[in-house]
Structure 1
Amino acid sequence: MLSLLLPAMLAVQAMALMEVYVPEMPVVALHGGDVTLNCSFSVATPFNLSDLTVFWQLTDTKRSVHGYREGHDQLVDQAESFANRTSLFPAQLGLGNTSLLLSRVVVADEGSYTCFVRVQDYGSAALLLQVAASYSKPVVTLEPESNLRPGDAVALTCVAYGGYPQADVIWQDGGGRNLTDNITTSLVANEKGLFSMTSVLTVVLEPNSTYSCRLINPLLGEEGYASVTITGQNIAFPPVALWVTIGLAVCLLVLLIALAAVCRRKIKESCEEARREAEEAKMLEEEESKTAMTLLKS
């Protein structure tokens, strides 16, 4: 019935227009919550509610959101997605308040809404509804997590869930340098239209480095923060250098053992030579003593 009434309302637009007021700025609603789409009008003379017609519809698709005529809600043509979720403020209608209360907001509700009002004159105005949802606290992980070596390329992944709309992602290092140019970000929507965001930053690994990820919801102004610090203890000693060190240590040990063996042999030979020299000297002394005795006796 309202669908038949609307063309008639439009037909009188050229005859007389009334002022209808809606917010100029977009209306932001939280996913799952309720939101009021403000709309009001002014007339020069008092009127009866039976003379008031209010019609809310989606601006782009022309689908009916809520209707009111002859003192009652008219919901026959209401789009199924809005069933049991819309209401006016009956006590405020006589004061020119034709605002719409939309309950249990979902992502699909986002868009432009037009408020049509007619008493004796006719007027309309459109407003924009935006939907927002908070993201979970982001979490940063790195891949690979082990066997890391200085100079390796490491992928740092920042993940957050259940938010809307797409968040702005900012990566920084420990010195505050912006690394956002080196990232790739992907979005996956669930059955409710809420996003899971994954942002990947690839860096060349340095010991004792900190990397942080910030997610900013542009509608709510909320920020989520997470960071990861890669310390020297987390970085494995390079395998090649390790084997070289082990090889050098083994060679040094063998060299020390060989040197000790040579020194021991040299010392032993020196001791034996000294002992032989001492024995020879003793024998020579004994012979000289015997020769001297023989000469004395003769």
Structure 2
Amino acid sequence: MLSLLLPAMLAIQAMAVMEVQVPEQPVVALHGSNAMLNCSFSHTGPFNLSGMSIFWLLTDTKRSVHAYRDGRDQLVDQADSFANRTSLFPTQLALGNASLLLSKVVVADEGSYTCFVRVHEHGSAALLLQVAAPYSKPVVTLEPESNLRPGDEVALTCMAYDGYPEASVMWQDGNGRNLTDNITTSLVANEEGLFTMTSVLTAVLEPNSTYSCRLINPLLGEEGYAFVTVIGQNIAFPPVALWVTVGLAVCLLVLLIALAAVCRRKIKESCEEARREAEEAKELEEEESKTAMMLLKS
């Protein structure tokens, strides 16, 4: 019978004079927690609860979320997904409070809800429920993990689990440069509708490089952060470059030894020549002295 009354009640909403108020901003509820869907109404005089009707409906499909009529809950037509999860506040009804408590919120609960109230008049208003779940701390992995060389193309993967809704991802290098243009991001939902988010960055490896992944949940405004640093000792030289380096080192060493030998020989020759010149000068000086003495004697 409730399913027959609802269309008729909704059809006369245009005649409603009762003011029904709900939050203008979306209601954000954490996955697995309780959500309060606030709804209040104004009435002009005293009324009997037995003559009051409250209907909470899914705005798009008009499926029943919770119904109150004739002084008690009427849950025969309630959608199965809301069974044992909804409740009003009976002591608050006479005060104009038609709020609905929705327990153990799941991703499938997300959507628009209409609060319909009838006392002497009719009124309704709709609000939006959004569901959020924090992601696990991101983890960054590097592929391949070994035998890396400067200039290699590597894939860095950032993963986080059990979050909702889709998060935004930003990659940066150690200099703060935004690398987000080079990423591929995918989402996989589990049976609860929560996401496993995988973001892959393709980069050309540089020695001693740091790559960071930042995750931002748009509803919760929280961030997850993770990074990986590839240090120099983990980067091996290419075989060809290694042999070239060794060959150049050997050649340089041979060149230095040969240069030292030449310099030593040149120095030795210079020293011998200087000694000969000194000896010749001494002999010449002695001969001149002898000649001078002979002249004096004569």
Identify the TM-score tier after normalising by the shorter chain: 0.7 to 0.9
So what's the TM-score if we normalise by structure 2? 0.82
Structure 2 Cα separation of the partners of residues 70 and 169 of structure 1: 52
Aligned to 1:176: 176
Aligned to 1:266: none
Aligned to 1:101: 101
Structure 1 Cα separation of the partners of residues 155 and 38 of structure 2: 48
So what's the TM-score if we normalise by structure 1? 0.82
Deviation at 1:204, TM superposition (A): 0.8
Aligned to 1:131: 131
Aligned to 2:151: 151
Deviation at 1:188, TM superposition (A): 0.4
Aligned to 1:68: 68
One-letter identity of the residue aligned with 2:217: N
SS of the residue corresponding to residue 113 of structure 2 reads strand
Aligned to 1:91: 91
Where in structure 2 are the equivalents of 1:282-297 lying within 5 Å? none
Residue deviations 1:49-95 (CA, integer Å, cap 9, x gap): 11110001111111110000011000000000000000001111110
Where in structure 2 are the equivalents of 1:123-272 lying within 5 Å? 123-246=123-246
Structure 2 Cα separation of the partners of residues 150 and 244 of structure 1: 16
Deviation at 1:211, TM superposition (A): 0.9
Structure 2 Cα separation of the partners of residues 80 and 30 of structure 1: 21
One-letter identity of the residue aligned with 1:65: V
One-letter identity of the residue aligned with 2:236: A
SS of the residue corresponding to residue 127 of structure 2 reads strand
Gaps of 5+ in 1: 260-298
RMSD: 1.8
Structure 2 Cα separation of the partners of residues 71 and 210 of structure 1: 65
Aligned to 2:116: 116
Deviation at 1:250, TM superposition (A): 7.8
One-letter identity of the residue aligned with 1:237: F
Deviation at 1:251, TM superposition (A): 8.2
Deviation at 1:249, TM superposition (A): 6.9
Q: Is the 8 A contact 2:13 2:124 kept in 1?
A: no
Aligned to 1:288: none
Aligned to 2:272: none
Where in structure 2 are the equivalents of 1:16-31 lying within 5 Å? 16-31=16-31
Residue deviations 1:250-289 (CA, integer Å, cap 9, x gap): 8899x89xx9xxxxxxxxxxxxxxxxxxxxxxxxxxxxxx
CA 1:252–1:171: 2 relative to 1, 3 Å: closer
Deviation at 1:233, TM superposition (A): 1.0
Structure 1 Cα separation of the partners of residues 15 and 110 of structure 2: 33
Residue deviations 1:108-166 (CA, integer Å, cap 9, x gap): 00000011000010011100000000100000111111111111111111000000000
Identity %: 83
Deviation at 1:16, TM superposition (A): 3.5
Gaps of 5+ in 2: 259-298
SS of the residue corresponding to residue 32 of structure 1 reads coil
Structure 2 Cα separation of the partners of residues 138 and 185 of structure 1: 14
CA 1:47–1:159: 2 relative to 1, 3 Å: same
Structure 2 Cα separation of the partners of residues 248 and 119 of structure 1: 96
Aligned to 1:268: none
Query: Which runs of structure 1 show a deviation greater than 3 angstroms over 4 or more consecutive aligned residues?
Result: 243-253
